[in-house]
Amino acid sequence: METPQDHLQRLRNGEEAAWGELHRDHYPRLWSSVQRILNNPTVADDVVQEAFIKAHRDIRRFEGQSQLGTWLYRIAINQALDTMRKKQRTERWLSFLSPMADEEGKPAMPEGEVPSRASLGLENADLRETILHAMDELSSEHRAVIQLRLIDEMSLEETAHFLRCRPGTVNSRLHYACEHLRRKLVKLKTSTP
């Protein structure tokens, strides 16, 4: 009878049969847990597959201090949480660029944190395409600031350090870039019936 250590060694040796057994034994539980977190079957499939790919890549680092299934479960849950965070970041920056902010009398640059909810109208694929197209018109410095501050959610200091400029320069570039994108979105909104 095969011991857990024997199975682990087969996995480390890259035996397809061992990986097939691991997939068969753990996929249903992983998928069920990930699906409950994400509430999207297609994305859950992708996340669980990514978890198996990550496990395959990192199997030599697994030291056996926990059960293999527990280790794999932790990878899958972390992948699911990362996917949620990425989705929330995208919604947050799309909300920040919403042309509705101008109509509601909100300041062009909000004080403190970027809003955490996306506007209902931002589900529109055309609007997302317009935002991406408008970003293409920005200089690389302005695109970098949008990426680092709004999408990757780096702090002001981290962004300044990464871009090798002063925090004031980061704020100035961010303000300019957001205003450019807002004007594009407002123009789009006023030109559509």
Question: Where are the domain boundaries for CATH 1.10.1740.10 in the chain?
Answer: 4-87
Query: Class of the 4-87 domain?
Result: mainly alpha
If DSSP states are collapsed to H, E and C, what string results for the chain?
Answer: CCCHHHHHHHHHCCCHHHHHHHHHHHHHHHHHHHHHHHCCHHHHHHHHHHHHHHHHHHHHHCCCCCCHHHHHHHHHHHHHHHHHHHHHHHHHHHHHCCCHHHHCCCCCCCCCCCCCCCCHHHHCHHHHHHHHHHHHCCCHHHHHHHHHHHHCCCCHHHHHHHHCCCHHHHHHHHHHHHHHHHHHHHHHHHHCC
Among the listed residues 120, 76, 83, 125, the one whose alpha carbon sits nearest the alpha carbon of residue 98: 120
Would you state the structure tokens that stand for residue 181, as one six-digit string?
């994108």
Q: Which fold has domain 97-191?
A: Arc Repressor Mutant, subunit A (1.10.10)
Does the pTM surpass 0.85? The reply is no
101-114 pLDDT, tens digit each: 444 444 444 433 44
Question: Where are the domain boundaries for CATH 1.10.10.10 in the chain?
Answer: 97-191
126-182 pLDDT, tens digit each: 666 777 777 888 888 888 888 788 777 778 888 898 888 999 999 999 889 888 888
